[in-house]
Amino acid sequence: MKYLAIILGLLLIVSCGDDKQKAKKVSRKAEVKEIIVPVFNVDSAFSYVKKQVAFGPRVPGTNAHTACATYFVDFFENLNLKVYQQKFKARSFDGKILKGNNIIAAINPEATKRILLAAHWDSRPFADHDADKENHYTPIDGANDGASGVGVLMEIARQMSIEKPNIGVDIILFDLEDYGQHASIDPNVNSEETWCLGSQHWAKNPHIAGYDAQFGILLDMVGAEGATFGYEYYSNKYAPGVIQKVWRSAASIGYGDIFTKTDGGGVLDDHVFINKYAYIPTIDIIHHSPSSTSGFFEHWHTVEDGIDKISKKSLQAVGETVMEVAYKE
Where exactly are the structural domains of the chain?
39-327
Q: What is the pLDDT of residue 15?
A: 52
CA angle 41, 46, 49 (to 5 degrees): 135
Instruction: State in Å, rounded, how far the first CA of the chain is from the last one.
Output: 59
Q: List beta partners, residue 201.
A: none
Q: What is the pLDDT of residue 19?
A: 52
Tell me how far apart the alpha carbons of residues 204 and 197 are, in angstroms, rounded to a whole number.
11
The DSSP 8-state label assigned to residue 194 in this structure reads: G
CB-CB contact of 173 with 147 (8 Å)? no
Q: Are strands 216-220 and 282-286 parallel, antiparallel or unpaired?
A: parallel
CB-CB contact of 179 with 197 (8 Å)? yes
Tell me how far apart the alpha carbons of residues 74 and 83 are, in angstroms, rounded to a whole number.
9
Q: What is the pLDDT of residue 32?
A: 57
In tens digits, the chain (329 residues) has pLDDT values of: 445 454 445 444 445 555 555 545 544 544 556 889 999 999 999 999 999 999 999 999 999 999 999 999 999 999 999 999 999 999 999 999 999 999 999 999 999 999 999 999 999 999 999 999 999 999 999 999 999 999 999 999 999 999 999 999 999 999 999 999 999 998 777 788 999 999 999 999 999 999 999 999 999 999 999 999 999 999 999 999 999 999 999 999 999 999 999 998 899 999 999 999 999 999 999 998 776 777 788 999 999 999 999 999 999 999 999 999 999 99
Q: How many CB atoms lie within 10 A of CB 194?
A: 18
List the CATH code of the domain at 39-327.
Answer: 3.40.630.10
Q: What is the pLDDT of residue 4?
A: 47
Q: What is the pLDDT of residue 139?
A: 98
- Please choose, from the candidates 179, 121, 126, the residue with its C-alpha nearest in 3D space to the C-alpha of residue 300: 126
